Structure 1
Amino acid sequence: MQKALKKSYKFTIRTASYVTIIATVLMALFLNAFHTIDWEFLIFPFACFLVCFVVIQYRIERFIYRRIKRIYDDLTLLESTDLRQQPITTDMTTLTKEIDKYARDKKLEIETLKVREEYRKEFLGNVSHELKTPLFTVQGYIETLLDGAMNDEKIRKKYLSRASKGVERLTYILKDLDMITKLEVGDLSLNIEKFDVVELIQNIFDLFEMKASKKNITLTFDTDYPQPIYVNADRERIQQIVSNLVVNSIKYGSEHGTTEVSIENLIKNKVIVRVTDNGEGIAQEHLSRLFERFYRVDKSGSRKEGGSGLGLSIVKHIIEAHNEKIYVESEPGVGSEFSFTLEKAK
């Protein structure tokens, strides 16, 4: 504010000086023409300067300050917190910088809101699609049964079985939505314990061996791990993560392909688990959004592979709940690698 006042006084002094010089010259010419100039005339410039200084400074404070304050008030209506907290200045340079900064901040805020709004619309559309498909399936089978098909025992059993699968899919989606909501608000507690991650992965291989064999996919480690590798984490959640990644590698893996898991020492107290396949791969433009809820690389709408569309998002949130990181690398036609870190147990 002091700097602003100094600039204001500087402007006033210059303006008053110009007016005083002009007025003094004119007065001197007038007196020289019609009267005699004496020593008392020397009082005029000083008096003129003081009067001009007071009048001009007063007008600046009353006229310019009032209008600048109106600009601040208008910006205050737009909830500019930064400007409200600053003193009002008559310095045009400072004011211009403040308004430019305000405009840039608002532009960034608007762009962020547009991105969020687009994401919200897409998310609601995905939720609607994911719930609509099994709902319509169940509704169709039940209406067919009510229209008379229930009298045929064979058709009744077949349609009820399909309707049951639709209900299971709905339950699966709602269960995943509930879990991801708890993860996002930090309401899901973790049971941290020490366990052998090699044994856990081997159990998952055994669990999905039949599923992998249908596509002739081999589930294997990159090398033998004769010694256990202990980590500190929630065993159930880590099993969920690895299961999800292995199932995805089977779903999108190539016939006669391989799903390989490796465990490496990253630093002194960290290990990194990598799940690699030689499947169809993922294009680069999809990688940044791969962990979003309901985001699917395949936009055709096909749901032949099943799943809720929330698996990778849940994986990311579980990893982040452990204060760890997850990474993905992929190349179309070559394959994908998902990796995540864990705390190594002592």
Structure 2
Amino acid sequence: MFSTKNLSPRQLAAFTAVILSVPIAIGIFLFTFDWRVGIGSLALVFAGSYGLIIFTLEKFIYRKIKLIYKLIYQTKATKKEEVYFKYILPQKSIDEVREDVEAWGERRNKEIEMLQKNEAYRKEFLQNLAHEIKTPIFAIQGYVDTLLGGAMEEEVIRKKFLENTAKNVDRLVNLVNDLDEISRLESGEQLLYKQNFIIQDLIREIYDSLSIKIQEKNIKTTIKKGCEAPITVFADKEKIKQVLINLVGNATKYGKPGGTIVASVYKTDEKHVLVEIGDDGIGIEEEHLNRIFERFYRTDAARSRDKGGTGLGLAICKHIIEAHGQSIHVRSAPGVGTTIGFSLEAKRDNA
């Protein structure tokens, strides 16, 4: 069945002109019985109708549509856009124009939603940052005021307060360093020095470097059975070391005493390697999993502030892995444990 739904303005004008001119021409022919007059009237009425309809569409409808398009682009039209407005747009049907506007509206709605989410995230980030900075500053202020208020004379109290002050200064320094690290990673200023190295050797090195904290909780560290065979990756070794220190450190903090930390390494294909660090600790509620890589985000139970740290470790891990062009993920269940994994590029022969 014939439909005018997707006709361009010129096609619509021609179709309408035919509908007008044919009955008129037939009427004139029946009145005069002269086929030349009938054909002439058909041509004349068709041309007049077509020209009038096109003029109306161009003057009163598509001029408004062009204005809408220019408002959508919100800029002075470039030469390319002017060509589009002059030659391509008039060939579009009203339905195609409507689809363009609807698509633009949908894009704008998504942009607005993203801006709203970013604004909410910015506010939350600033609140968390203020809290993280105020906590050690107020602690330092309290210790200093107490010492200046007379506690300086008591050696035991003086030493204890100075030690606590030093700890809070270290916390501030770590916070500033972590923020600086994230800023450089986000801006792309942090260059990566990639090389081939065996990932299992680096994992064992991290286990050794954190052995004192791990032994304090009597946690056993292993590489999963079947994953011991050396696998070479191509990455920035120092940056991946930083990632593994964060992940093993977290697994130690939130792992259960007497539990286990297991590292797994898999070659997923010829170009990628998957590394996972898992614990059997307290785990994370499902509603928090999508946000644990955000700066300063902590869950009420699994990532509470009394565990220490700046709250930026996982955010830094995410930025480092993404700077490598790879991805990081988490699996967790309360009471079962948490596994965080990330992908790396496999060995390069020409590196």
Partner of residue 72 from structure 1, selected from 66, 70, 75: 66
> Structure 1: any 5+ residue segments left out of the alignment?
29-37
Asked whether the equivalents of residues 76 and 83 of structure 1 are also in contact (C-alpha less than 8 Å), the reply is no
Pair 1:294 & 2:287 matched: no
**How far does the alpha carbon of each residue in 1:190-239 deviate from its partner, in whole angstroms, 9 at most, with x for none?**
23234343333223222222212222222233349887554433222222
CA distance in 1, matches of 2:73, 2:301: 41
Partner of 2:188: 186
Kindly state the Cα deviation for residue 248 of structure 1 after the two structures are TM-superposed. Answer: 0.4
User: Aligned to 1:281, what secondary structure does the other structure show?
Assistant: coil
Given that 2:321 and 2:342 are in contact with CA atoms closer than 8 Å, whether structure 1 keeps it comes out as yes
Match status 1:8 vs 2:1: no
8 Å contact from structure 1 (residues 72, 83) kept in 2 = no
Residue of structure 2 aligned with 1:341, choices 340, 343, 346: 343
Match of 1:94, as an amino acid?
E
The 10-residue stretch of structure 1 (242-251 or 315-324) with the greater mean CA deviation from structure 2? 315-324
Higher mean C-alpha displacement, 279-288 vs 303-312: 279-288
Q: Which residue of 2 aligns with 1:142?
A: 144
Q: Residue 187 of structure 1 aligns to a residue in which SS?
A: coil
Tell which deviates more after alignment, 46-55 or 137-146.
Answer: 46-55
1:267 aligns with 2:269: yes
Give % identity: 37
User: Aligned in 2, Cα 1:74/1:327: closer, same or farther, shift over 3 Å?
Assistant: closer
Map residues 113-262 of structure 1 onto 2, 5 A cutoff: 113-223=115-225, 229-262=231-264
Q: Which moved more, 1:282-291 or 1:46-55?
A: 46-55
Structure 1 residues 137 and 242, CA gap change in structure 2 (3 angstroms): same
Q: CA deviation at 1:10?
A: 1.6
For residues 125 and 308 of structure 1, the distance between their equivalents in structure 2, rounded to whole angstroms, comes to 14
- Distance change in 2, residues 1:245/1:59 (3 Å): same
Partner letter of residue 77 of structure 1? L
Q: Shift of residue 175 of structure 1?
A: 0.8
State the secondary structure of the residue aligned to 1:329. strand
Q: Does the 8 Å contact 1:8/1:91 carry over to 2?
A: no
User: 1:98 Cα shift?
Assistant: 2.6
Give per-residue Cα distances to partners, 1:23-59, cap 9 Å, x unaligned: x69x97xxxxxxxxx779985x677666655554454
Assess, with a 3 A threshold, how the Cα gap between structure 1 residues 92 and 338 changes in structure 2: closer, same or farther. closer
Matched, 1:328 2:330: yes
Residue 8 of structure 1 and its aligned partner are, at CA, apart by: 1.2
Q: Provide the rounded CA distance (Å) in 2 between the counterparts of 1:270 and 1:88.
A: 47
Contact preservation (8 Å) 2:273, 2:343? yes
Note the alpha carbon deviations across 1:93-136, whole angstroms, 9 max, x for none.
33323322222222232223222222222222222222222222
- CA contact 1:271–1:344 (8 Å) conserved in 2: no
Number of equivalenced pairs: 333
Cα deviations across residues 231-259 of structure 1 (Å, max 9, x unaligned)?
43322222211111111011111122111
Larger radius of gyration: 1
Look up the SS of the partner of 1:288 in the other structure: helix
Alignment RMSD: 3.5
Distance 2:299 2:327 in 1: 22
